[in-house]
Homo-oligomer: A and B are copies of this chain.
C-alpha cells in the first residue's frame, strides 16, 4: 500500500547515513594502525607491536591479534617475532590516511581551536569526512590561513 511504501522509502534514505557510519567504523581501525606503522617506520626505521600498543593505549595482545587481521587483509607483512612491514596496499592506505588526517587537523586549527583539541578531535573526525566535505575543508583552508 502507498503509505507503507512511502514510509519504507523514507526510512531507507535515513538508514543510508547509519550504514555509512558503520562502514566508516569498520575501516577505521585498519586505517589508524597502518598510519601509525608508517609513522614508526619513518621515525625510527621499524614498527614493533609494543610501540603500537603504547601509542594506541591498548594491550599488546590486542595489537598482535589485529596484526593477524591486517596481514590477512594484505596490508602488512610480518614474520613471527619480527618487526612489521607495510605492503604496497598498506603504504597506499597509510598515505591516503595521512593526507586526509592532516587536512582535517589543519582545518580545525584554522577554525580556531587549540593545537591539542585539533589533534584529539581530528583522530575521530577524519574517518567520517566524505570526499566532498574534505574538498570543502581544503577550500576553506586555501582562503583562510592554510
Residue positions of A touching B, CB distance < 8 A: 7-8, 11-12, 14-21, 24-25, 32, 51, 54-58, 108, 111-114, 117, 119-121, 123-125, 127-130, 132-133, 136-137, 139-140
Contacts and interface: CB of A to CB of B under 8 A. Distances in A.
Given A111-B137, A112-B136, A124-B21, A56 B15 contact: yes
How many copies of this chain does one complex carry?
A: 2
Given A12-B57, A114-B132, 10 more contacts: A8-B54, A11-B55, A16-B57, A18-B56, A111-B133, A113-B132, A117-B132, A123-B128, A125-B128, A125-B129
B137 A130 contact: no
B111 A15 contact: no
24 contacts: A8-B54, A11-B54, A12-B54, A15-B54, A16-B57, A16-B120, A17-B119, A17-B120, A18-B32, A18-B57, A19-B57, A20-B120, A21-B123, A21-B124, A111-B136, A112-B136, A112-B139, A113-B133, A117-B132, A121-B129, A121-B130, A124-B127, A125-B125, A125-B128
